[in-house]
Amino acid sequence: MQTLLLTGFEPFDQDPVNPSWEAVRQLDGVQLGEGVQIVARLLPCAFAMVGQCLAGLIAELRSAMVIATGLGPGRSDISVERVAINVNDARIPDNLGEQPIDTAVVVDGPAAYFSTLPIKAMVKAMREAGIAASVSQTAGTFVCNQVFYLLQHALVGTDVRSGFIHVPNLPEQVAGSGQASMPLVTTVEGLRVAVRAAWNTQVDWVQTGGQIS
Catalytic residues: 81, 144, 166
- Other CB atoms closer than 10 Å to residue 66's CB: what's the count? 27
Beta strands in the chain, from DSSP E residues, in sequence order:
2-9, 31-33, 36-43, 65-71, 78-81, 83-85, 88-89, 101-103, 112-114, 133-136, 161-167
Q: Which residues pair with 164 in a beta bridge?
A: 68
Helix, strand counts (H, E) of the chain: 5, 11
> For residue 108, what are the contacts with CB-CB under 8 A and spacing of at least 6?
none
> For residue 145, what are the contacts with CB-CB under 8 A and spacing of at least 6?
84, 85, 87, 88, 105, 139
- Contact between 131 and 192 (Cβ < 8 Å): no
